[in-house]
Amino acid sequence: MKQKSKKDPSADLELAAAQARLTSIDLEEAILGTILLNVGYGGDAAYSEVSGQLKVQDFADRRHQLIFQAMINLSEAGSAIDDYLLSEELLRQGWLDSVDGVAYVASLTEGLPRIDNLSSYIKVVRNKSRQRELVATHESLRLSALSGDADELGTMLATAIDRLAQIRTGDTDDLLSVDAIVRPRLGEVISPQVGASSCNTGFLALDRKLGGLRKGEMIILGARPSMGKSALALDIAANVAREKGRVAFFSLEMGKVSLVQRLLCREAEVDLFLMIRGRLEMEERRKVSRVLGRVMRYQIFIDDERTMTVPKMLAESRRLQTMQGLDLVIIDYLQIMDSVGRFENANRMVTAMSKGLKQMAGTLDVPVLVLSQLSRESEKRADKDRRPRLSDLRDSGSLEQDADVVMFIYRPEVYFRDRPDFRGLAEIEVAKQRNGPIGTVTLSFEKTFASFRDAAEWVVQPDEDA
């Protein structure tokens, strides 16, 4: 018969000591006692300060969680918060025995000195709560990794990054006064600078219209197929990278190698079709070689996984932001993204993804440029009326509502091939801009190397056969 191994008592002591380091019971008692000593109504300064920075779950002791919840109930009912009313509320909720009765409530204020540094106590309790949350998340992720399928490693890593990023370490900022908003960012509020709160597209006329791509905003770039959505998005990515910006590019349609080939062609100004088929002449190869080093230094991070969801993109973007920084996210394109869950129809699915992307922009505090396919409605209209409209957003759901900016690409040469005066002309229609003007910006499109250019003054491009 095997003899059971004795449990090392030192391990229990070490665990108890570690758990003690993650709690501050005395400080929790002092915080609750201070609220009771400052008897008043819902606007009481001590209660307001505590409730504005701590949640019920931030208290480690279960008794303190119930007591603080009872205080919240009293405040929301417009009642004073004192020993008697607090005990009555605990009794009404059936919690009084769970907090060791009236005697424990009374003990919170016994011998408690005046506390002038309540904010410091709150900070310690809040930080220890974050530590406990981190430990619990670590243990949950460890168990998930041990029991999970190795084939799902990518999903597990994305989930881990997302959950760790959700643990808040700073002060809460759910509701801030105007003073609290303005004071730390006075220059940004009074005299904002393009570049200080945005990244430029690299197209002068478009940047003048938009004021750059603003942090925390979702920008929709829509067009019919073959209008150049991916080309314009890649142009913007390259222009941001040229200014030392960092770009996350999620390409659900085009492979990473194809994107890099396009980057090289736009930089070297060589024929994309010939490069893809390996038919570049020697001089064109030299051009590509000359720009290769520059392109390789661009901080453009490409993921071409086809089964990409909003949570996974958020997790990957957060990881990049934490490790190297992040200035812009580009998604190509919305309608072929994977959804999380099932939906009655495409409209509801796109609505859910739209709201998720909007939240993603706010969470990362960077612009998120989302490419979107347009419906065929524009194709059905008369020749002179084929410019895209907001109503053309395919399976739009709440796209128009959620987006801060909506832009469309219109290249008339696609429809009017017999009009040489339209060759190379590209119009970017800013159809919606929450914080700025709308209108049309003219660019030129270089079809040979699939890239847009500034067009300060429109010049008709020569015939391709010339």
Q: Output the pLDDT for position 153.
A: 63
Q: Output the pLDDT for position 466.
A: 37
Q: Which amino acid is at 248?
A: A
Q: Write down the CATH number for the domain with range 22-119.
A: 1.10.860.10
Would you tell me which CATH number, out of the four given (3.10.20.30, 3.60.15.10, 3.40.50.300, 3.30.70.80), belongs to the domain 194-454? 3.40.50.300
Backbone dihedral region for residue 78 (phi beyond 0: left; psi -120 to 50: alpha; all else: beta): left
**Which segments in the chain show pLDDT lower than 50?**
1-2, 5, 41-43, 169-172, 194-196, 457-466
Query: Do residues 337 and 375 touch, judged by C-beta distance below 8 A?
Result: no
- Residue range 362-396, pLDDT digits in tens: 888 899 999 988 877 766 766 667 788 887 775 56
The domains of the chain are located at: 22-119, 194-454
Cβ neighbours of residue 151 under 8 Å, at least 6 residues apart? none
CA distances 299 to 82, 315, 333, 342, Å, are 58, 18, 21, 36
CA distances 152 to 144, 145, 261, Å, are 11, 10, 30
Q: Output the pLDDT for position 462.
A: 46
Rounded Cα distance between 400 and 431, Å, is: 10
- Around Cβ 424, how many Cβ atoms within 10 Å? 20
DSSP 190-253: HS--TTTSEE--S-HHHHHHHSSEETT-EEEEEE-TTS-HHHHHHHHHHHHHHTT--EEEEESS
Q: Identify which of 112, 202, 126 has the alpha carbon closest to the alpha carbon of residue 441.
A: 202
Q: Identify which of 195, 206, 200 has the alpha carbon closest to the alpha carbon of residue 456.
A: 206
- Around Cβ 268, how many Cβ atoms within 10 Å? 22
User: pTM score > 0.85 for this model?
Assistant: no
Q: Output the pLDDT for position 233.
A: 94
Rounded Cα distance between 369 and 219, Å, is: 5
Q: Output the pLDDT for position 149.
A: 65
Q: Output the pLDDT for position 460.
A: 43
The answer to whether 22-119 and 194-454 have equal CATH topology is no
Which tokens hold the place of 340? 């999380």
